[in-house]
Amino acid sequence: MAKFHNLGGRGSIACKDCNYRESVLSFIHQDGRCILGYQCEVCGKFTTRVRLQLFEEYYSPSGDDEKISDLPEKYRPHRIEHLQGLIKICLIGVDKGPPTRSWMRKWWKTIDECNQELSLISADEIRDVNNRREAYEREFNATLICECGGGINCDQNLFCPSCRSNNLAYKISFIS
């Protein structure tokens, strides 16, 4: 069976070994927050946690991405994280192996464009954004405890809370 972070929406999990069935929420996003599904590693209980979008996102009337230097200050942290994320994704893609030459050129071009835009921002502002993100992640991670005291996780293979089998099926009923 999959991991919660690979599923989407709301649905039901059914154990193919003991016929246990439960409605679960795996991932829903709405209005600057998302609700994520987790499972306790000890008791097997399914639960959720709400993650807030830490930084406000700017939506351009034209639909185009605005350069960071043109954004109002309250939107800059989101753009900084977006640029850092694009760089990270491209570097992971480059490290995964030999893609076609055209893909490789696009990845390096994206990395260069992101780095160029980030160079317009002071190191102090970038450090402040990164520090605020790290503080939020520490605070959020502290909530990943089940009522039984066990840790909850969305990155482990799901198992049946009744018989602990991994022989599960997920039927999605709603996606956002």
Give residue-wise pLDDT tens across range 95-126.
666 555 566 677 788 889 999 999 999 999 99
Q: Where are the beta strands (DSSP E) in the chain?
A: 9-15, 21-30, 33-40, 46-52, 152-153, 168-174
Tell the burial category of 126 from Cβ atoms under 10 Å away from its Cβ (0-12, 13-18, 19+). Answer: middle
pLDDT in tens, 60-86: 776 567 788 888 889 999 999 999 999
Residue 174: pLDDT band with limits 50, 70, 90: confident
Query: Residue 135 is inside which H or E element, if any?
Result: helix 123-141
DSSP states of 90-134 as a string?
Answer: HHHHHHT----HHHHHHHHHHHHHHHHHHTTS-HHHHHHHHHHHH
**55 Cβ contact partners less than 8 Å away, ≥ 6 residues apart:** 75, 77, 78, 81, 129
**Full-model pTM:** 0.78
User: What is the radius of gyration, based on Cα positions, of the chain?
Assistant: 20
What gap in Å lies between CA 13 and CA 165, rounded to an integer? Answer: 12
